Amino acid sequence: MSVSQASAVIDFKAVADRLLPAGSSYDSCLACGLCSSGCPASGLEGLDPRRFIRMAILGLDAELTSTPWIWTCTQCKRCAQVCPMNIDVSVLVGHARSMWPEEKKPAGIVRSCKAQMLSDSTSAMGVSPEDFVDIVAETAEELRHDDERFAKIEVPIDKQGAFFFVNQNSREPAAEPEEMRPLWKLLDYVGADWTYGSSGWAAENFCMFSGDDAAWKAMVEKRVDAVNALGCKVWINTECGHSFYTLWKGVERFGLKPNFDYASLVTYYAQWIREGKLPVNADWNTKGIKFTLQDPCQLVRKSIGDAAADDLRFVAKTLVGEENFVDMQPCRSANYCCGGGGGFLQAGMKELRHAYGKRKFDQIEATEATYVLTPCHNCHSQMEDLAHHYGGDYRVVHFWTLICLALGILGADERKYLGPDLQDVGLPQ
Partner 1 sequence: MNFDADVLVIGGGVTGCGILRDLALRGIRGILIDRGDLNSGASGGNHGLLHSGGRYASSDTETAAECRIEGEILKRTAPQAIDACGGLFVAVEGDDEGFIARFAARCAAAGIDCAPLAVDEVRRSEPAISERAIAAYAVPDATVDPFRLTIEQVADARRLADSLFLPHTEVTGFDIDGGRIRAARCRDTRSGEARIIRARQYVNAAGAWSMAVARLAGCDDVRVLWSKGTLVIANTRLTRRVVNRLRTPGDGDILVPGGTVSLLGTTSDTVADLDVIRPTPEEVDRNIEEGSVLIPALAHTRFIRAFAGVRPLLLPTGGDGDGRKASRGFTLFDHVAQGLGNFATIAGGKLTTFRLMAERTGDLVAARLGNREPCRTATEPLPALERSSWTEPGHSARTWFAAKNPADSILCECEMVPKSTVDAVLEMAPGAEPQMPLRAIGVRSRIGKGTCQGSFCAIRVTSHLYDRGTYGGREGLGLMRDFLAERYKGTRPVLWGPQMPQAELAETLHCGLLGLDLIDARGQDGEPR
Partner 2 sequence: MNPEPRRITTDVAIVGTGLAGFAAAVFCLDRGIAAVQLGHAGALTYTTGYFDLLGYDRGRSIDDPWRALADLGATWPGHPLARLPRSTIEQAFRRFAEAIGDLGIAYVPPGATNVRALLPTGLAKTTSSIPRTMAAGAAALAEKKRTVIVDFIGLVGFSAKEFVTNFAADWPGLSSAHIGFPDLDGGAEAYPEVMARALEVRATRERLAARIRAVVGDADCVGLPAVLGVHAPDRVHAAMEELVGVPIFEIPTMPPAVPGLRLRELLEQAMPARGLRLVSQHKATRVDLRPDRIDFGYRDNFGEVVIEARTAILATGRFLSGGLVAERSGLRETLIGLPVEQPAGRGDWHRDDCFDVRGHPINRSGVVVDDDFRPLDHDGVPVHPGLFAAGAILAGQDWVRQRCGAGLAIATAWRAVDGVARMSGR
240 belongs to the binding site for ligand SF4 (CB under 6 A): no
Number of helices (H) and strands (E) in the chain: give both, helices first: 18, 7
327 belongs to the binding site for partner 2 (CB under 8 A): yes
User: Containing H/E element for 165?
Assistant: strand 164-166
Given candidates 58, 151, 307, 427, which one binds partner 1 under the rule CB under 8 A? Answer: 58
Q: How far is the CB of 192 from partner 1 (least distance, A)?
A: 50
Given candidates 11, 27, 33, 177, which one binds partner 2 under the rule CB under 8 A? Answer: 33
Measured CA to CA, the distance from residue 156 to residue 226 in angstroms comes to 15
Phi, psi for residue 292 in degrees, rounded to 5: -125, 180
Binding-residue pattern over the window 116 to 155 for ligand SF4, x denoting contact by CB under 6 A: ----------------------------------------
Q: How far is the CB of 34 from partner 2 (least distance, A)?
A: 5
Query: Are 127 and 196 in contact, with CB atoms under 8 Å apart?
Result: no
Given candidates 3, 10, 41, 289, which one binds ligand SF4 under the rule CB under 6 A? Answer: 41
Of partner 2, ligand SF4, partner 1, none, which one sits near residue 379, judging by CB under 5 to 8 A according to partner kind?
A: ligand SF4
Cis peptide before 330 (omega within 30 of 0): yes
Interface size with ligand SF4, residues (CB under 6 A): 39
362 belongs to the binding site for partner 2 (CB under 8 A): yes
Interface size with partner 1, residues (CB under 8 A): 21
Residue 370 Cα to chain centre, angstroms: 22
Given candidates 55, 218, 229, 334, which one binds partner 1 under the rule CB under 8 A? Answer: 55
Stretch that binds partner 2, among 108-116, 181-189, 205-213, 303-311 (CB under 8 A): 303-311
Of partner 1, partner 2, ligand SF4, none, which one sits near residue 59, judging by CB under 5 to 8 A according to partner kind?
A: partner 1
234 belongs to the binding site for partner 2 (CB under 8 A): no
Q: How far is CA 406 from CA 214, 255, 414, 425, in A?
A: 43, 42, 13, 9
225 belongs to the binding site for partner 2 (CB under 8 A): no
The residue ranges of DSSP E strands in 181-260, in sequence order, are: 194-195, 234-237
Between 127 and 328, whose beta carbon lies closer to partner 2? 328
Query: Are 273 and 311 in contact, with CB atoms under 8 Å apart?
Result: no
73 belongs to the binding site for partner 1 (CB under 8 A): no
Of partner 2, partner 1, ligand SF4, none, which one sits near residue 98, judging by CB under 5 to 8 A according to partner kind?
A: none
Between 32 and 118, whose beta carbon lies closer to partner 2? 32
Residue 172 Cα to chain centre, angstroms: 14
Phi, psi for residue 89 in degrees, rounded to 5: -75, -25
CA gyration radius for the chain?
21
Given candidates 229, 334, 395, 417, which one binds partner 2 under the rule CB under 8 A? Answer: 334
Between 19 and 58, whose beta carbon lies closer to partner 1? 58
16 belongs to the binding site for ligand SF4 (CB under 6 A): no
Given candidates 3, 10, 12, 13, which one binds partner 1 under the rule CB under 8 A? Answer: 13
Of partner 1, ligand SF4, partner 2, none, which one sits near residue 74, judging by CB under 5 to 8 A according to partner kind?
A: ligand SF4
Residue 28, C-beta contacts closer than 8 angstroms, at least 6 positions apart: 85, 87
Q: How far is CA 37 from CA 43, 58, 157, 378, in A?
A: 10, 21, 47, 24
Q: Which residues pair with 372 in a beta bridge?
A: 292, 396
Q: Which residues pair with 234 in a beta bridge?
A: 164, 261
Residue 122, C-beta contacts closer than 8 angstroms, at least 6 positions apart: 116, 200, 201, 202, 205, 219, 222, 223
Measured CA to CA, the distance from residue 248 to residue 258 in angstroms comes to 10
Given candidates 109, 215, 372, 379, which one binds ligand SF4 under the rule CB under 6 A? Answer: 379
Single out the residue of 119, 136, 89, 126 nearest to residue 342, CA to CA.
89
Query: Are 57 and 76 in contact, with CB atoms under 8 Å apart?
Result: no
Measured CA to CA, the distance from residue 281 to residue 297 in angstroms comes to 27
11 belongs to the binding site for partner 1 (CB under 8 A): no
Q: How far is the CB of 20 from partner 1 (least distance, A)?
A: 13
Query: Are 186 and 198 in contact, with CB atoms under 8 Å apart?
Result: no
Stretch that binds partner 1, among 47-55, 151-159, 191-199, 295-303 (CB under 8 A): 47-55
Stretch that binds partner 2, among 127-135, 206-214, 278-286, 328-336 (CB under 8 A): 328-336
Contact residues: ligand SF4, CB under 6 A: 29-35, 39, 41, 49-50, 53, 73-79, 83, 85, 87, 89-90, 93, 241-242, 296-298, 337-338, 340-342, 376, 378-379, 382
Contact residues: partner 1, CB under 8 A: 13, 27-33, 43, 46, 50-51, 54-55, 57-60, 63, 84-85
